[in-house]
Amino acid sequence: MNDRVPADLLEIADALLPGAPLNQARLARGGVHDVVLLPGVAAVRVSRRPLGARVMPRNAEILRAIGAAGLPFAVPEPLTPVTGFGERAAMAVSWIDGTGLAEGEGDPGQIAEVLTALRELPVTPELRGLLPAPRAYDGHWARVLAEDVLPRLPDRWRPEAERRLAAATALEAVPDVLVHGDLAGDNVHWGEDGKLVGVLDWDRAHLFDPAVDAAFMGWHGWDNVRRAVDGATCRRARVWDRLFGVNILCAVFVLDGGPIPLVDSYVKHIVAWLEEQAGDSAALFTS
């Protein structure tokens, strides 16, 4: 979080929401967006890269469809059309109260509440038409990793990466459900009373194995995850997480059959993640 909001972002927020109070504005930075936070009013999402600008209209439609699907918590609602500002695109979405939990905090009941709501939500035809479904592309995500990513890894990591990919592709198929794809930290908001308020940032939503979201809940501690889900889901979650970490992996899951953008940058993130895990021999060499 960076509280200082650049003048150009304040101008975009003012253009989208004329008269909105900007004196309390704060800045948050996501992977491809800057977000101007106007507490109690709205969040203004502004693309930083051409890719973010291209996908924003579709993400707005996804938000509308998810919001109408009947989840038992709040989802950001688009308040304005997607609007161009030079090479950038922006839209305002509704404010979601509450706050995220710090890493390691939470309990199995809270984790189960979020995961159950997503797993049990009926997938509407509209959602099925909008959301990527990695299995529908005949293993495209696995081919991207095998053909475009693994050959670029340093020699010391390639055999281990191949082993992890093989473990993931060997997982049993389970029915596809709505997967948030970034279900951790500040993206899940809780009230002061501990009740679930809402879930933000659905840019990586897709239809896939619910164990992917369970892996994201490892943010709250894997002991809590084990107590929140059944054994089979937990085992799959560990396999998905070991395949370079679910946050990195979901960038491939949502490719929708296309090529991976900025593949060299993506490989650098994977190498950094592997290096970070290198001190934990159990994480590296057990499954």
Look up the CATH number of the domain holding residue 176. Answer: 3.90.1200.10
Q: Do 222 and 256 fall into the same domain? A: yes
Q: Which domain holds residue 34?
A: 7-94
The residue among 220, 174, 183 whose CA lies nearest residue 205 is 183
Q: Is 0.85 topped by the overall pTM?
A: yes
pLDDT in tens, 107-158: 999 999 999 999 999 999 999 999 999 988 788 999 999 999 999 999 999 9
Q: Do 130 and 253 fall into the same domain? A: yes
| Among candidate residues 61, 94, 127, the one where a domain is terminated | 94
Is residue 100, in this structure, part of any structural domain at all?
no
Q: Has residue 283 got a pLDDT over 50?
A: no
Q: What pLDDT does residue 31 have?
A: 77
Q: Do 182 and 276 fall into the same domain? A: yes
| Among candidate residues 94, 125, 155, the one where a domain is terminated | 94
Is residue 48, in this structure, part of any structural domain at all?
yes
Q: What pLDDT does residue 256 have?
A: 82
Mean model confidence pLDDT for the chain: 92
| Among candidate residues 94, 126, 148, the one where a domain is terminated | 94
Q: Do 154 and 235 fall into the same domain? A: yes
- The tally of domains found in the chain comes to 2
The residue among 34, 40, 41, 47 whose CA lies nearest residue 1 is 34
Q: What is the token pair recorded at 126?
A: 């509209």
Give the integer Cα–Cα distance in Å for 253 and 203. Answer: 12
Burial category of 213 from C-beta neighbours within 10 Å (exposed 0-12, middle 13-18, buried 19 and up): buried
Q: Do 272 and 157 fall into the same domain? A: yes
Give the integer Cα–Cα distance in Å for 220 and 184. Answer: 8
Q: What is the mean pLDDT of residues 73-82?
A: 97
Is residue 251, in this structure, part of any structural domain at all?
yes
Q: What pLDDT does residue 136 have?
A: 85
Burial category of 185 from C-beta neighbours within 10 Å (exposed 0-12, middle 13-18, buried 19 and up): middle
Q: Has residue 165 got a pLDDT over 50?
A: yes
Which CATH number fits the domain that encloses residue 16? 3.30.200.20
Given pLDDT bands bounded at 50, 70 and 90, which one contains residue 279?
A: low
